[in-house]
């Protein structure tokens, strides 16, 4: 943890969550970070979809929606950064308040609704991004859109040449109708169009553009099987598992536990990890899985990898624990690899998927 963070942390925690978030982003954008974090142990280096990552640990979409703080986030030590969700046209998102802390569970509930400065502003910033860091763009649709698939395709075409991969968000619970694109014929249409958009970028740039899809943790067993079958017919390079949940575990406490929106943080860890393992067991290995949800330490990241994740992302854990968490996870993962006897982190992927996928939910 940097000196600045140690001083500012208690102050930020007294502010409303979204106010604190925007203030932290401004500080990062202005270069208000400590000395660069140490580079991850080389044993953590991995390759996914033809892209080389210095570690599997990345910052999930939602923290830096408009690509304002990418240089500072690289300095903190992340192996990759996913900016967004970006919508084609600027929009304010849902009315405030729309973000709520559940401190006892290190959880958040948000109903932001894709606040975004739009493609023009984000593209201008990405044109000057650091080239020694893997950066992905998470793209979505405007709330008032005639066709969400057209919006998503526009995001791929506009940002695809500026990033190392694009992730399509069809799983936020805060944009009406968006989750309908995860299954059935709507998913077929989406996959056909985004694969076409990816080809347009690749033809223009003469380089591959990995394409990921981010799904919800609330899919039923039949919806999960349907998703897998359609991805086998029209594959993407990766599946991000998962976004926030609309479920509310009985163990939640705090005055905001009943707020509408997506729940993230520790309560999301078990259901998202079980879904991750289930998908690893039924999808071809050519589709990389990205484990997201409730990661707050090295053992959490390790379990995501055992469940089938080739990459791991976090957001809420970073909000609660700060920049020191990144070094802690990197150090812990490197030790776990060496202690396990595996030659690399990639060799660990999926080794626990059978046991994790069949685990019963916690009471």
Beta strand 288-292 pairing with 309-314: parallel
Sign for the CA dihedral angle at 183, 187, 188, 189 comes to positive
- pLDDT value for 32: 73
- The structural domain count of the chain equals 1
Asked whether residue 362 is domain-assigned, the answer is no
Q: How many CB atoms lie within 10 A of CB 128?
A: 11
Under 8 Å between Cβ of 147 and 208: no
CATH number at residue 152: 3.20.20.70
- pLDDT value for 11: 56
Asked whether residue 225 is domain-assigned, the answer is yes
Cα–Cα distance measured from residue 267 to residue 293, given in angstroms and rounded to the nearest whole number: 8
Cα–Cα distance measured from residue 313 to residue 256, given in angstroms and rounded to the nearest whole number: 25
- pLDDT value for 106: 97
**Catalytic sites, residue numbers:** 172
- pLDDT value for 169: 97
- pLDDT value for 263: 98
Q: Give, for 292, the enclosing helix (H) or strand (E).
A: strand 288-292
Structural domain of 75? 3-357
- Name the phi and psi angles at 61, rounded to 5: -60, 150
Asked whether residue 363 is domain-assigned, the answer is no
Asked whether residue 306 is domain-assigned, the answer is yes
Q: Quick check: helix, strand or coil at residue 18? A: helix
Q: Find residue 117's DSSP bridge partners.
A: none
Under 8 Å between Cβ of 90 and 116: yes
- pLDDT value for 127: 96
Q: What is the pTM of this model?
A: 0.95
pLDDT tens per residue across all 363 residues of the chain: 443 444 455 656 789 999 999 999 999 998 877 666 678 999 999 999 999 999 999 999 999 999 999 999 999 999 999 999 999 999 999 999 999 999 999 999 999 999 999 999 999 999 999 999 999 999 999 999 999 999 999 999 999 999 999 999 999 999 999 999 999 999 999 999 999 999 999 999 999 999 999 999 999 999 999 999 999 999 999 999 999 999 999 999 999 999 999 999 999 999 999 999 999 999 999 999 999 999 999 999 999 999 999 999 999 999 999 999 999 999 999 999 999 999 999 999 999 999 998 764 432
- pLDDT value for 3: 38
- pLDDT value for 34: 66
- pLDDT value for 33: 72
Cα–Cα distance measured from residue 155 to residue 263, given in angstroms and rounded to the nearest whole number: 26
Under 8 Å between Cβ of 304 and 275: no
């Amino acid at each position: 943890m940097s000196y600045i963070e140690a001083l500012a942390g208690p102050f930020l925690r007294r502010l409303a969550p979204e106010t604190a978030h925007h203030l932290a982003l401004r500080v990062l954008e202005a270069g208000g970070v400590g000395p660069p974090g140490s580079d991850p142990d080389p044993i953590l280096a991995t390759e996914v979809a033809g892209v080389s990552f210095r570690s599997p640990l990345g910052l999930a979409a939602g923290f830096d929606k408009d690509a304002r703080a990418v240089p500072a986030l690289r300095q903190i030590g992340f192996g990759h950064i996913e900016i967004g969700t970006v919508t084609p046209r600027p929009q304010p998102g849902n009315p405030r308040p729309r973000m709520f802390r559940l401190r006892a569970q290190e959880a958040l509930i948000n109903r932001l609704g894709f606040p975004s400065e739009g493609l023009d502003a984000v593209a201008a910033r990405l044109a000057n991004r650091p080239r020694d860091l893997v950066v992905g763009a998470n793209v979505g649709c405007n709330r008032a859109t005639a066709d969400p698939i057209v919006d998503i395709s526009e995001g791929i075409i506009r940002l695809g040449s500026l990033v190392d991969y694009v992730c399509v968000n069809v799983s936020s619970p805060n944009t009406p109708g968006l989750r309908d694109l995860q299954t059935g014929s709507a998913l077929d249409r989406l996959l056909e169009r985004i694969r076409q958009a990816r080809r347009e970028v690749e033809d223009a740039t003469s380089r591959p553009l990995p394409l990921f899809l981010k799904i919800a943790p609330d899919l039923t067993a039949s919806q999960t099987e349907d998703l897998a079958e359609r991805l086998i017919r029209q594959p993407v390079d990766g599946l991000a598992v998962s976004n926030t949940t609309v479920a509310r575990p009985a163990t939640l406490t705090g005055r905001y536990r009943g707020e509408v929106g997506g729940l993230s943080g520790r309560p999301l860890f078990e259901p998202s990890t079980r879904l991750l393992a289930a998908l690893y067991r039924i999808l071809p290995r050519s589709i990389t899985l990205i484990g997201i949800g409730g990661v707050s330490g090295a053992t959490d990241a390790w379990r995501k990898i055992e469940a089938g994740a080739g990459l791991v992302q976090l957001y809420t854990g970073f909000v609660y624990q700060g920049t020191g968490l990144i070094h802690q996870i990197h150090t812990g993962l490197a030790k776990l690899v060496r202690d396990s006897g595996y030659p690399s982190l990639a060799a660990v992927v999926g080794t626990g998927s059978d046991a994790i996928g069949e685990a019963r939910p916690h009471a």
